[in-house]
């Protein structure tokens, strides 16, 4: 299994493992979007920052992402307000509505080589019911004066190059990136600002004795504040546990770069796309003209998801039928029952963030920077959502099994009956 993003990453970053005992103002555990965004923000403020990553920067969900820089969450904004209440809902909606601005500003400021394209995203209606849902989402966003447009069937066909959709909702705020390159670029930018970033450094224990003391196999960090940004790839440390999330997997496959004769009318503006199906399908093009197709599920020995992808590619784009896939990779999503991210207090001057439910790039960037500001200042008004002291996801293992079983059944039977 090969990850396209690892094969095509233009940003390089290597952080030596931690050795010895060091002190810091802020210690960060996890080198994805949230952790690297926090490191960059804190270093810009002049703080002494140490980031610890067990593998390599972007190894987790950040480097396995679809690469869609969305505005907001999967939930429509009215539902966010229903879940959180009016004041808190407005606070979160407003913070994430400008999330893409934050991402693309960092890319420009730090010259991050991550194939940035900001031509919007397309939420595509796979059925008449799906189009009705998009109409509702459009009405909510239009009421907030968001730059969105509802496309009819013909316009959706022109925008995607596929006859499969009843319409689409275009969000002009959004775009696409090479996600692993973005994560590594954030780490490189943070290091340029003075942050100490260590790869291949697994945390073994965490304790608080006036400061936070984070122990690894080869060293120790003593810091005033702690930020845990491990999300779906979290491993409980001795002395510190975090809420368990529902285990959800998402896989992607990429074709070889397509010749101009095949790709000319497929996503001519390079929008990133996903549909309204019960088991969501995503598709997009990268800078080299590869068609990338993804859906929920964990690759299996029977090849159920891969077989579905080959059929789906031909159905979406008949002229691509039979095109071979060159890369096939997957990652874990940090899913919460209400699809709203959580910021959890872990103790004095300590926060954890998790549960982006498939929307990691913009929210991860925004939440990471906000948590760094809060931990350095002690002012929680920087946060886009109020922190909680604890969080529980009941029956998380059974829910994960339910999602995976449903995805396999749908993919095994799709257009065969």
Alpha helices in 243-395 (DSSP H): 260-263, 304-316, 361-377
Q: Nearest CA to 64 among 270, 254, 323?
A: 254
Note whether 88 and 55 are same-domain residues: yes
Residue 277 shares a structural domain with residue 219: yes
For residue 353, give the CATH number of its domain: 3.50.50.60
Q: For residue 140, what are the domain limits?
A: 122-172
User: So what's the pLDDT on residue 402?
Assistant: 65
Say if residue 341 is in the same domain as residue 367. yes
Are 302 and 356 members of one domain? yes
Beta carbons within 10 angstroms of residue 289's beta carbon: 18
Tokens in use for 401? Answer: 């099994």
Element (H, E) at 232: none
The pairing of strands 291-296 and 246-255 is antiparallel
**pTM of the shown model:** 0.96
Which two structure tokens, joined as six digits, stand for 228? Answer: 């845990």
Determine whether 18 is exposed, middle or buried from the number of CB atoms within 10 Å of its CB (0-12, 13-18, 19+). buried
Confidence at residue 98, expressed as pLDDT on a 0 to 100 scale: 97
Q: How far is CA 123 from CA 131, 175, 344, in A?
A: 10, 12, 31
- What is the Cα–Cα distance from 404 to 141, expressed in whole angstroms? 31
Last residue of a domain, one of 108, 139, 172: 172
**In terms of domains, do 144 and 275 share one?**
no
What tens digit of pLDDT does each residue of 273-304 get? 999 998 899 999 999 999 999 998 988 877 88
Q: What is the pLDDT of residue 404?
A: 77
C-alpha separations of 155 from 149, 166, 176, 194 in Å: 11, 10, 21, 48
- For the stretch 319-340, pLDDT in tens is 999 999 999 999 999 889 899 9
Element (H, E) at 122: strand 121-125
d(CA 361, CA 106): 12
Whether residues 304 and 207 share a domain: the answer is yes
Q: For residue range 208-260, what is the model confidence (pLDDT) as tens digits?
A: 999 999 999 999 999 999 999 999 898 888 877 777 788 789 999 999 999 99
Residue at a domain's end among 107, 141, 172: 172
C-alpha of 47 from chain center: 26
Note whether 212 and 131 are same-domain residues: no
Question: What are the E-state strand segments in 43-120?
Answer: 49-52, 68-69
* Helix %, strand %, coil % of the chain (to 5): 35, 25, 40
Count the neighbouring beta carbons within 10 Å of the beta carbon of residue 145. 7
- 406: part of which helix (H) or strand (E)? helix 396-413
Q: How many CB atoms lie within 10 A of CB 7?
A: 12
Residue 193 φ/ψ region, left for φ over 0, alpha for ψ in the -120 to 50 degree band, beta for the rest: alpha
pLDDT at 390: 86
- Given a contact cutoff of 8 angstroms between Cβ atoms, the answer to whether 225 and 350 are in contact is yes
Same domain, 179 and 325: yes
Q: What's residue 417's pLDDT?
A: 38
* Contact predicate 234/228, CB 8 Å: yes
Task: Give residue 414's pLDDT.
Answer: 67
The number of folded domains in the chain is: 2
Residue 45 structure tokens: 């403020």
CA triplet 218, 224, 227: central angle to 5 degrees? 75
Same domain? 111 vs 155 = no
Question: 151 and 299 share a domain?
Answer: no
User: Is the domain of 55 the same as that of 127?
Assistant: no
* Residues 32 and 141 grouped into a single domain: no
Phi-psi map region of 51: left, alpha, beta (phi>0 left; psi -120 to 50 alpha): beta
- The low-confidence residues of the chain, meaning pLDDT below 50, are 417
CA distance linking residue 71 with residue 67, whole number of Å:
13
Rg (CA), the chain: 21
């Amino acid at each position: 299994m090969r990850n396209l993003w690892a094969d095509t990453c233009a940003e390089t970053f290597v952080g030596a493992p931690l050795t010895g005992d060091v002190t810091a103002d802020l210690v960060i555990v996890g080198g994805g979007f949230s952790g690297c965004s926090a490191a960059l923000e804190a270093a810009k403020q002049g703080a002494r920052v140490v980031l610890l990553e067990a593998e390599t920067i972007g190894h987790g969900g950040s480097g396995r992402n679809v690469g869609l820089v969305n505005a907001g969450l999967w939930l429509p904004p009215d539902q966010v307000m229903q879940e959180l209440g009016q004041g808190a809902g407005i606070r979160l909606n407003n913070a994430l509505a400008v999330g893409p601005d934050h991402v693309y500003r960092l890319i420009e400021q730090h010259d991050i080589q991550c194939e940035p394209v900001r031509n919007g995203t397309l939420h595509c209606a796979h059925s008449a019911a799906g189009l009705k849902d998009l109409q509702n989402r459009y009405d909510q966003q239009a009421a907030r004066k968001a730059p969105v447009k509802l496309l009819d069937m013909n316009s959706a066909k022109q925008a995607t190059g596929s006859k499969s959709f009843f319409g689409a909702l275009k969000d002009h705020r959004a775009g696409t990136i090479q996600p692993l390159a973005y994560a590594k670029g954030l780490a490189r930018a943070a290091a340029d600002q003075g942050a100490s970033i260590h790869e291949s450094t697994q945390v073994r224990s965490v304790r608080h004795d006036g400061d936070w003391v984070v122990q690894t196999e080869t060293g120790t960090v003593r810091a005033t504040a702690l930020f845990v940004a491990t999300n779906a790839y979290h491993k409980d440390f001795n002395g510190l546990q975090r809420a368990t999330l529902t285990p959800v997997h998402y896989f992607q496959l990429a074709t070889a770069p397509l010749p101009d004769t095949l790709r000319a009318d497929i996503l001519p503006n390079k929008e990133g796309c996903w549909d309204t199906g019960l088991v969501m399908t995503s598709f997009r093009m990268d800078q080299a003209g590869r068609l990338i197709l993804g859906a929920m599920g964990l690759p299996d020995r029977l090849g159920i998801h891969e077989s579905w992808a080959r059929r789906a590619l031909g159905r979406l784009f008949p002229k691509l039928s039979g095109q071979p896939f060159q890369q096939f990779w997957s990652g874990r999503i940090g899913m919460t029952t209400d699809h709203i991210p959580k910021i959890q207090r872990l103790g004095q001057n300590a926060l954890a963030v998790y549960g982006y439910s498939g929307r990691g790039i913009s929210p991860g960037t925004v939440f990471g920077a906000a948590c760094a500001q809060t931990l350095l200042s002690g002012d929680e008004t920087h946060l886009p959502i109020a922190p909680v002291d604890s969080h529980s996801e009941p029956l998380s293992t059974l829910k994960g099994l339910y999602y995976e079983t449903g995805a396999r059944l749908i993919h095994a039977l799709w257009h065969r009956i």
